[in-house]
């Protein structure tokens, strides 16, 4: 939703996320405690959280934060399970996204980790621009590996490698997952891929081949990163991930009837019907 230009009414957000909660996803990313000036769409996150019905779901709720203040707000909410923090492999994007250098963002991540642990929340680190960036900066796989080691050294348990602008190439995906997953067995590495709708399969298939089992998605691939300063590239389509899981006989345990209902609600939520 954060990448959607038109403001979605709070009641519609609540209805949509409540529908998603019945499907059986492991995690629902349901809001962001960030500056409303930067991302107005997320200004009602607390109100949305307050109204969510967790009475019949096993899904965990995740929120994104960019600083200490946001982390405290997320950690203090009883319904939040996971706090997500975007750390960028690109120095330029880190500054643009959170107004910090990478070193400053790393120190912030340590502070947020303390807040999360104190409040019995999980911390999820997003490695933005993990597969390349549009700024002409130096990028290579070794850079991602170096930052992975630093986060591993402070005890981070979950890292989503994020293809923020949809540029991930097969060889880079292969090298990252086939190296990092065996080397850091205490860390779960996910795939947060952005893609055009017709080019999703290569990214998922390659990551899957080399051990990735955690994938982020959004129905119809809607949305994307509003801070990327590039033409919007949508998220990984959830329906394609489900199809992929079925093809590979992965027991995802999702209620597909409820998913169809969520699909229909999503079209109304985003004004597509």
Among 59, 166, 147, CA closest to 109: 147
Among 110, 104, 100, 65, CA closest to 86: 65
* C-alpha span between 240 and 156 (Å, rounded): 29
pLDDT of residue 226: 52
Tokens of 92: 């330029």
* C-alpha span between 127 and 85 (Å, rounded): 9
CA torsion angle 140 146 148 151 (round to 10): -140
Q: Show the low-confidence residues of the chain (pLDDT under 70).
A: 224-233
pTM for this prediction: 0.94
Q: For 10-269, CATH number?
A: 3.20.20.70
SS (H, E, C) 142-205: HHHHHHHHHHHHCCCCEEEEEECCCCCCHHHHHHHHHHHHHHCCCCEEEEEEECCHHHCHHHHH
Domain ranges across the chain = 10-269
pLDDT of residue 228: 45
pLDDT of residue 224: 66
Tokens of 13: 């957000």
* C-alpha span between 113 and 125 (Å, rounded): 10
pLDDT over 90, % of the chain: 90
Q: Interior CA angle at 221 toward 134 and 188, to 5°?
A: 75
């Amino acid at each position: 939703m954060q990448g959607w230009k038109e403001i979605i009414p709070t009641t519609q957000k609540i209805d949509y996320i409540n529908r998603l909660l019945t499907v059986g996803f492991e995690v629902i990313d349901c809001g962001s405690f960030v500056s409303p000036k930067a991302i107005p769409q997320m200004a009602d996150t607390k109100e949305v959280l307050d109204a969510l019905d967790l009475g019949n779901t096993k899904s965990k709720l995740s929120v994104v934060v960019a600083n200490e203040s946001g982390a405290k707000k997320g950690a203090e909410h009883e319904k939040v399970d996971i706090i997500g923090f975007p750390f960028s492999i690109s120095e330029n994007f880190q500054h643009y996204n959170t107004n910090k250098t990478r070193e400053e963002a790393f120190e912030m991540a340590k502070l947020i980790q303390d807040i999360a642990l104190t409040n019995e929340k999980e911390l999820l680190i997003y490695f933005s621009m993990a597969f390349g960036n549009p700024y002409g900066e130096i990028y290579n796989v070794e850079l991602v590996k170096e930052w992975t080691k630093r986060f591993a050294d402070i005890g981070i348990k979950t890292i989503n490698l994020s293809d923020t602008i949809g540029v991930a190439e097969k060889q880079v995906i292969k090298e990252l997952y086939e190296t990092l997953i065996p080397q850091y067995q205490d860390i779960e590495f996910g795939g947060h891929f952005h893609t055009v709708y017709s080019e999703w399969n290569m990214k998922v298939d390659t990551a899957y081949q080399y051990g990735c089992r955690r994938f982020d998605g959004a129905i119809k691939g809607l949305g994307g990163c509003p801070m990327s300063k590039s033409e919007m590239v949508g998220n990984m389509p959830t329906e394609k991930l489900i199809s992929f899981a079925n093809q590979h006989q992965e027991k995802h345990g999702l209620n597909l009837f409820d998913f169809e209902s969520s699909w229909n609600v999503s079209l109304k939520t985003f004004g597509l019907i």
